[in-house]
A = this chain, B = another copy of it.
Amino acid sequence: MSLKIALAQINFLVGNIAANVDNIIKAASYARDELSADIVVFPELTITGYPAEDLLFRADFISAANNAVYQIAECIDDIAVVVGFPERDGNSLYNSAVVLHQGSILACYRKQMLPNYGVFDEQRYFSAGTQPCVFEFNGVFIGLTICEDVWKSGIIDETKHAGAELLLTLNASPFNAGKIHQREAIICEQVKAAKIPLIYVNQVGGQDELIFDGASFVANSQGDIVFRAEEFKEQISVIEFDGNNPLINSCAPLYNKITSEYKALVLGIKDYVRKNGFQGAILGLSGGIDSALVLALAVDALGHDKVEAVLMPSRFTQDMSNEDAITQAEILKVKYHTIPITPAVNAFTDMLTEVFVGTTKDATEENIQARCRGVILMALSNKRGKLLLTTGNKSEMSVGYATLYGDMAGGFAPIKDVPKLLVYELARYRNSLYEVIPERVITRPPSAELAPDQIDTDSLPPYEILDPILERYVEMDQSAEEIMAAGFRYDDVVRAINLVDKNEYKRRQSPPGIRITSRAFGRDRRYPITSGYRGI
């Protein structure tokens, strides 16, 4: 008996149930009419989008999501539709998958493994299911599972014992560098051990901090991947089963690490702008590497006509900074303005003269410059309805080498989770396609240009030393002792850790940004501001 199963790797909008239902119906019709599919499988919590967070506490929202299931069932015939939704049963809510066929519900499964770590808070919302779910379709016994369920062997085994010959898995598995290899390796290991083929459908798209990378796949019962959808793109594909055996289709190749990171960042910007209804994006272009990369990403995401750059030189800005910024804006055909900040800085300096009598210059004066730029950029953002992109990187966010309400101002921080060394790598990667970032921007020593002849290493260890220390301390939770045992100098470790510890207050007010590592600042790393913990 042959069975055609479609994988609907779609980009949904969290919270917009009506639009998501429309998308589901369109995709199911396409799978039926164009791909001759018998079954179409959607990602986890299809109807609400993932993660809907505390929207899941709203009774009206849950009612709408539950009603939507019946609406879909009524609208689609002649194909079985497998969608995820938050299922209400009395006072409990389940993360469920339902099989709709010919106007009725053929099966419903409640997710058993609810992740509550990292970026996940599913135990805040859902009760856990307790039973496997197997349904018969065209003579094949098909088991339903959801995301975390298939990362360990328990639920897969249980579902197989309940009679399943084939597993469908609905997922919302977010991207980070290397995640796709980890995901495929772990799940295929389970599949191989259980000797059961598996269809894995993942969500695609950006949702605040998270990028869902798609890369839906099909594994045969030997644990070999016989089909893979593209990464970072919507795609509806079909794979044919001879009984429960998948006929080999095709595998989209996996991007290498740097390409996948770049594509994740582009998708993140594109979806944040689009889904939040902005007219485009603006950013401050300093002639430095961070804003150069963000400009390249923004143009790749939105098109050159949607992006606007602002040069805001001060007396500390070197000529080459302005030159390089203009060169890049011209290469990328981006509209740019030059607004020197000196008049505003002078105004504030005069206004503060009296209250600052007797004090000495310190970071305050540097922050005033950065904040004048923040005021200008926000004024343009407000007036144009364009999203202000913040250009700070993860190394800066870690050590607080940034000014609150100054260069940290903005609605979205695309490279917030990109360490400085990776900023350089991404810039070189982008230039390898064709050069859009002037070479000098990449090769000159980085500087905030807030004081005469300032360079980053006046205040920080070189990034070649700082970045690996930060990775160990921030992402891996290593202690100072462990970091020093790995060969780093006491002074560098102390300097880095102290800065991380005392700058949580800045991070708490930073805009959201795109998560590309396995531990981003944000929902992934929840630290108290008020804290007596000192890493050293």
Complex Cα–Cα for A150 and B372 (A): 54
Per a CB cutoff under 8 Å, which of B58, B272, B352, B376 touches A351?
A: B376
Per a CB cutoff under 8 Å, which of B121, B405, B527, B530 touches A409?
A: B405
* Shortest CB distance A535–B (Å): 8
Per a CB cutoff under 8 Å, which of B378, B510, B532 touches A15?
A: B532
Please name all residues of chain B whose beta carbon is closer than 8 Å to the beta carbon of A511 when the two chains form the complex.
Answer: 508-509
Complex Cα–Cα for A271 and B530 (A): 9
Q: Is A1 an interface residue (CB 8 A)?
A: no
- Produce 1/0 per residue, A475-494, CB < 8 A to B: 00101110000000000000
Q: Is A193 an interface residue (CB 8 A)?
A: no
- Please determine whether A16 and B379 come into contact, CB atoms closer than 8 angstroms: no
Q: Is A257 an interface residue (CB 8 A)?
A: no
- Please determine whether A527 and B53 come into contact, CB atoms closer than 8 angstroms: yes
- Produce 1/0 per residue, A344-383, CB < 8 A to B: 1011101110111001001110011001101110111011
- Please determine whether A343 and B339 come into contact, CB atoms closer than 8 angstroms: no
Q: Is A123 an interface residue (CB 8 A)?
A: yes
- Produce 1/0 per residue, A494-536, CB < 8 A to B: 0000000000010011111000000000000111111111010
Q: Is A54 an interface residue (CB 8 A)?
A: yes
Please name all residues of chain B whose beta carbon is closer than 8 Å to the beta carbon of A61 when the two chains form the complex.
Answer: 533
- Please determine whether A208 and B368 come into contact, CB atoms closer than 8 angstroms: no
- Please determine whether B374 and A405 come into contact, CB atoms closer than 8 angstroms: yes
Most chain-B CB neighbours within 10 Å: which of A121, A359, A378?
Answer: A378
- Please determine whether B355 and A380 come into contact, CB atoms closer than 8 angstroms: yes
Please name all residues of chain B whose beta carbon is closer than 8 Å to the beta carbon of A343 when the two chains form the complex.
Answer: 347, 350-351
- Please determine whether B364 and A382 come into contact, CB atoms closer than 8 angstroms: yes
Complex Cα–Cα for A344 and B59 (A): 48
Please name all residues of chain B whose beta carbon is closer than 8 Å to the beta carbon of A528 when the two chains form the complex.
Answer: 14-15, 51-53, 55, 207-208
* Shortest CB distance A179–B (Å): 19
Residues from 30 to 78 in A contacting B, C-beta threshold 8 Å: 49, 51-55, 57-61
- Please determine whether B351 and A344 come into contact, CB atoms closer than 8 angstroms: yes
Task: Known A207-B528, A364-B382; judge A477-B58 contact (CB<8 A).
Answer: yes
- Please determine whether B379 and A367 come into contact, CB atoms closer than 8 angstroms: yes
Residues from 300 to 348 in A contacting B, C-beta threshold 8 Å: 337, 339-341, 343-344, 346-348
Please name all residues of chain B whose beta carbon is closer than 8 Å to the beta carbon of A275 when the two chains form the complex.
Answer: 530, 532
Q: Is A276 an interface residue (CB 8 A)?
A: yes
Complex Cα–Cα for A341 and B350 (A): 11
Task: Known A339-B351, A344-B351, A527-B54; judge A356-B378 contact (CB<8 A).
Answer: no
Complex Cα–Cα for A356 and B411 (A): 21
Q: Is A177 an interface residue (CB 8 A)?
A: no
Residues from 258 to 283 in A contacting B, C-beta threshold 8 Å: 271-272, 275-276
Please name all residues of chain B whose beta carbon is closer than 8 Å to the beta carbon of A477 when the two chains form the complex.
Answer: 57-59
Q: Whose C-beta in chain B lies nearest to the C-beta of A120?
A: B124
How many chain copies does the complex carry? Answer: 2
Please name all residues of chain B whose beta carbon is closer than 8 Å to the beta carbon of A423 when the two chains form the complex.
Answer: none
Interface size on A, residues (CB 8 A): 84
Q: Whose C-beta in chain B lies nearest to the C-beta of A114?
A: B123
* Shortest CB distance A334–B (Å): 15
Complex Cα–Cα for A121 and B526 (A): 10
Complex Cα–Cα for A340 and B350 (A): 11
- Please determine whether A374 and B376 come into contact, CB atoms closer than 8 angstroms: no
Please name all residues of chain B whose beta carbon is closer than 8 Å to the beta carbon of A371 when the two chains form the complex.
Answer: 371, 374-375, 378, 405
Complex Cα–Cα for A14 and B470 (A): 23
Per a CB cutoff under 8 Å, which of B60, B271, B362, B531 touches A14?
A: B531
Please name all residues of chain B whose beta carbon is closer than 8 Å to the beta carbon of A355 when the two chains form the complex.
Answer: 337, 339, 380
Q: Whose C-beta in chain B lies nearest to the C-beta of A57?
A: B477
* Shortest CB distance A362–B (Å): 7
Complex Cα–Cα for A121 and B272 (A): 28
Q: Is A434 an interface residue (CB 8 A)?
A: no
Q: Whose C-beta in chain B lies nearest to the C-beta of A276?
A: B530
* Shortest CB distance A267–B (Å): 13
Q: Is A19 an interface residue (CB 8 A)?
A: yes
Complex Cα–Cα for A179 and B405 (A): 36
- Produce 1/0 per residue, A3-21, CB < 8 A to B: 0000000000111110100
- Please determine whether A530 and B207 come into contact, CB atoms closer than 8 angstroms: yes
Most chain-B CB neighbours within 10 Å: which of A347, A363, A510, A511?
Answer: A347
Task: Known A371-B378, A375-B372; judge A533-B55 contact (CB<8 A).
Answer: yes
Q: Is A404 an interface residue (CB 8 A)?
A: yes
- Please determine whether A60 and B378 come into contact, CB atoms closer than 8 angstroms: no
Complex Cα–Cα for A16 and B376 (A): 41
Q: Whose C-beta in chain B lies nearest to the C-beta of A343?
A: B347
- 7 nearest A-B pairs in the assembled complex, by CB-CB distance: A16-B532, A15-B533, A60-B479, A405-B405, A15-B531, A364-B382, A347-B347
Other CB < 8 Å A-B pairs besides A14-B532, A16-B531, A60-B479, 9 of them?
A: A14-B530, A15-B533, A16-B532, A53-B528, A55-B531, A61-B533, A367-B382, A371-B374, A508-B511
